[in-house]
Structure 1
């Protein structure tokens, strides 16, 4: 397995330390000196050889997102609440007051969470959350303005170059992701890659439906002539369909990573003179299904074909057993789009949260089952079958992306700290994205 790491050159050792706990993984590095070099360095990294996954920070992801190939597992590592708390601890260790202070990149919610935990005056803390088009000049100006108003002795920054630009006007404490934070994101990425490889070995089903029942045999012959399906099992299915079984990776290649699909039925023989053809509004469609069994895969493929027929034009969809739907795809289909039921924008939302579309889709399904009820990190972990620490990290990621909202706390035991509750807000974010589109 080969993982690409995009890091600021001065922080390479921090990432290397996090990567030392992994075996059986090789790393390719893109170490940039300045933010304006990011795009060229990422382009060189991607051109140097095939990667199985890519780990990068918020700034590199924002600067080079359009260069990342569709389908490449990607993780966006970012500083966590613990990293901010450690920066404040260093300030107190230097004898500096905790406030006033200005902080960039962290969300308002994360800053408030840490400030409340440390008993700090939130009104004396200025924040500038990260934005994709944010420049270093904007970040520096934010800190300078706060320093000028308050006379603060220091600033807390995640952005490379802030300290040099302030040029001694005030001290800068870096709240960079610790090796522990990076290690957790890196391990999660490697597990995603391994799960994807396992998924690629799973068999999947494809259901092709023709616009005329008499073309089934011709469609089957046309499918068997496709090089990708040379070793697939293909047979007629239903009144006007053909079903094919092959490893999921075969269909992914055939569809160019679920973007387009060959329409072999266009070359199939027309209905014979006496054959009863379907109505003129019946499209030629395909449905792909990936499930835990052959029967379940066929059922999902049939659902996907049903969904494609709703478009009223030649198209194809994929539905997987974990709730992800991809489509529409076609001979001249649009770019890859992940949807959950009728919602769009799941892929961009997942990228914003640093999660895979499949994980976010499962969370959207969980949110529907909760019907507005808040959930604890432990409950989230149990629902997704992950560890409690992973559940806490996931809640933080969702909160930082605006996909989970604090909803009080609970203390099921008399001893110990209360557990914070969050209400998932993925559905509303998807709906807002659809309305914006």
Structure 2
């Protein structure tokens, strides 16, 4: 199920775009005025629990704090083509292309379209979208330009602008075309599918009898294997002997997330201690293949054996470690490979430790090469605005350094380049 948050005037356009998807149901949150958005979104999330959410810039700005963490979201927005079509409608009405005032579109997009249409950029006033900007400010921007230039119309991406102008001037809405919406819907559906596939990816867990058991190693291992086989979360897992004192479990990663309470604790270790009278440790591995997952699980179990108390660790193929996980829901600590202090550094940067660990893995793969905020966003699977916000956070924490700029696209402004410095900060904190 995909949730659609749309203005009432846009519903037919979104419904037309959605006809190309089968096997998907839609839940609608339809609003007339911006102040209604939060209630509509809250009701949609509460009543339908969608697998993903498609909404525009304004609805996202008004409701982003309501959206659950991890819910796939696609923010649909008008593209350069949509702005060009609005100008084409103006010319079809017999109006001049300029002067004109435009809101919502980024300055770079206005520059690109104006250059392509050979328009006088100095006669075009643009007001890029700001999440917390009320409609009144957008209307004031247009009124000031109208009074100064006498322009016959404005181009807007905000549905409330026309009503606020009271019909005193024409408003051309530069709406996302059905093609733009359709592409966003398809991308969101693929993300939901990939997320489900990711939840079903196989992982490995290695449980080891650590220390001399009272009943002999074979009997202790057999008892452990029986205990794991009776664990409800492992009902569909593949469980087999691994060496003289180990039991290997292969299962979807989601099952391990359940048995560890989202990688927080591992109560089955306490049960092994109480019922079998042995100290058991565990290691989990998530990699790109079953072989790599088993290898990572073996390394994680070896790390768990070094601790005095029963516990477990998770090693992932991208270099993240979670642990120690104790017999109960003890707090998580994150490290990156052998580096300590990542959790503290993440706190200072205002990021989660998991995010900073992923960034450290990205830095290692770059091998000193700088990257743009857009490239970082694509690498992490986040939006370009989120990538820019992340760069700002890292800059404030001294974890990136600006190193120049590069022209990523033939048109538009050059992108600034940054070099990550997370590993250096971790090593300095040893």
Establish whether residue 37 from structure 1 lines up as the match of residue 36 from structure 2.
yes
The structural deviation recorded for 1:139 is 1.9
Q: In structure 2, how many angstroms separate the alpha carbons of the residues matched to 1:429 and 1:57?
A: 35
For structure 1, which runs of at least 5 residues remain unmatched after alignment?
278-283, 350-356, 385-393, 411-417
Is the 1:367–1:424 Cα contact (8 Å) retained in structure 2?
A: no
Cα distance in structure 1, aligned partners of 2:300 and 2:414: 33
TM superposition shift of 1:84: 1.2
Structure 2 residue 288 is matched with structure 1 residue 291: yes
Number of residue-to-residue matches in the alignment? 387
1:252 Cα deviation (Å)? 4.2
Contact kept? 1:291, 1:300, Cα under 8 Å: no
From the superposition, tell whether residues 148 and 24 of structure 1 become closer, same or farther in structure 2 (CA, over 3 Å). Answer: same
Instruction: Compare 300-309 and 41-50 and name the one that shifted more.
Output: 300-309
Q: 1 CA distance for matches of 2:212 and 2:81?
A: 63
Q: Closer, same or farther in 2 for the Cα pair 1:102/1:406, shift >3 Å?
A: farther
Alignment of 1:228-307 (within 5 A): 228-233=233-238, 244-254=249-259, 258=262, 260-262=264-266, 264-265=268-269, 269=273, 287-292=284-289, 294-301=290-297
The Cα of 1:180 is off from its aligned counterpart by 0.3
Contact 2:370 2:420 in 1 (8 A): no
Separation in 1 of the partners of 2:133 and 2:252? 43
Distance in 1 (CA, whole Å) between partners of 2:414 and 2:299 is 33
Measure the CA separation in 2 of the matches of 1:232 and 1:24: 29
Partner of 1:136: 135
After superposition, what is the alpha-carbon deviation per residue over 1:192-224, rounded to whole angstroms, capped at 9, x for unaligned?
A: 222233333332224578997979969877765
* DSSP 3-state at the match of 2:96: coil
Counterpart for residue 68 of structure 2: 69
Deviations 1:335-383 (A, max 9, x none): 9x9x9997969xx99xxxxxxx9xx98x967993793489x99xx99x9
- The match for 1:181 is 180
1:54 matched to 2:50? The reply is no
Report if aligned partners of 2:101, 2:142 keep a CA contact under 8 Å in 1: yes
Moved more, 48-57 or 168-177: 48-57
Aligned to 1:83, what secondary structure does the other structure show?
A: helix
Name structure 2 gaps, 5 residues minimum: 215-219, 392-403
The match for 2:201 is 202
Tell me, in whole angstroms, the C-alpha distance in 1 between the residues paired with 2:422 and 2:107: 22
Structure number with larger C-alpha Rg: 2
Instruction: State the partner residue of 1:101.
Output: 100
User: Which whole-Å CA distance do the structure 1 matches of 2:169 and 2:20 have between them?
Assistant: 37
RMSD over aligned Cα, in angstroms?
A: 5.2
Q: Cα offset for 1:18?
A: 0.5
Describe the shift of the 1:372–1:172 C-alpha distance in structure 2 as closer, same or farther (beyond 3 A). same
